[in-house]
Structure formats: structure tokens, C-alpha cells
Amino acid sequence: MKKDTSRGSLTVEALILVPALMMLFILIVYVGQLTDASFRVHRAADVSARIASQSNSQVMISRGVTAARYDLVGSSSTCEHADITVTRGKIGRIQTVTSSITCVVSSSGLGLLSLPNRTVRATSTEVVDYFSGR
């Protein structure tokens, strides 16, 4: 009779696979955070430009920046630092408002992989609404 020589091989396989699966799981969480942050930054840029386009010209920029900040804070985004810029412009004779947001997504909770912080950017432009009854 032949003696079974595969005793304990499952323990060795688990010892090799568990760290690799943990790294894969952390990487999936990181990609999910980046995707979520990108969605939230694009939404905040859209909201900011829309609110600014419906405001009068004296408070247009400040209302756009405030709307973006409230949207980012209210959505509990993973932005470590957000830079918000709202500018007025023209396309021919049509006035526009452009909102640009740059967000640094922190990866501090995923220290096992020591992933770098990533930057997410979004820009949205709206036509100034002159008929909104301001």
C-alpha cells in the first residue's frame, strides 16, 4: 500500500491564496471608490453649473461654488480635497456658466496595498437662463 503524501496541502494552498484574495478584494474596493468619486464629482459639477445658470449675475459664481460644496458634502464623497471653479463665458452671443471640480480621492483606508491618491476631474457647462423669473 502506498502512503498518502498530500497531508496538509490544503493548509499550504490556503496560506498562499488568502493574501492574494485579500489584495484582490482591496483592489476592487479601491476601484469602486474611484468610480463612486467620479460619479459624485460629475454630479456636483452638473448641479453647480445648473444652479449658477439660474442665478442673477451678481451671485452666479458664489451660488455655483456653494451648490457644488453642498452636493459633495451631502453625498459623503471620498474627496480629501476639492477645488471648485465657476466661470462665466460666451459662445457667440450666448452666455454660459462652466463649473470645474477637481477632487483628490484618498486611499488612506486601503493601506495594505499603499495605493496612491488619485485625482478626479469634472467639467459642466450650462447656458445662462434669462427667462427663469429672477
Q: What is the pLDDT of residue 58?
A: 86
In the predicted structure, residue 109 carries a pLDDT above the cut 60: yes
**How many Cβ atoms from other residues are within 10 Å of residue 67's Cβ?**
22
The residue-averaged pLDDT of 81-88 equals 91
Q: What is the pLDDT of residue 101?
A: 95
DSSP for 65-81, written as a single string: HHHHHHHHHHTT--EEE
Q: 60-74 and 9-53 helices cross at what angle (nearest 10)? A: 160
Angular region, 96: left φ>0, alpha ψ -120 to 50, beta rest = beta
Q: Is 29 helix (H, G, I), strand (E, B) or coil?
A: helix
Can you give the pTM of this predicted structure?
0.79
What is the percent of the chain with per-residue pLDDT over 90, rounded to a whole number? 35
Tens digits of residue pLDDT in 46-77: 999 999 999 888 889 999 999 999 988 876 66
Domain ranges of the chain: 9-127
- What values do phi and psi take at 39, rounded to 5? -60, -45
Residue 78: C-alpha distances to residues 25, 37, 41 (Å): 18, 6, 10
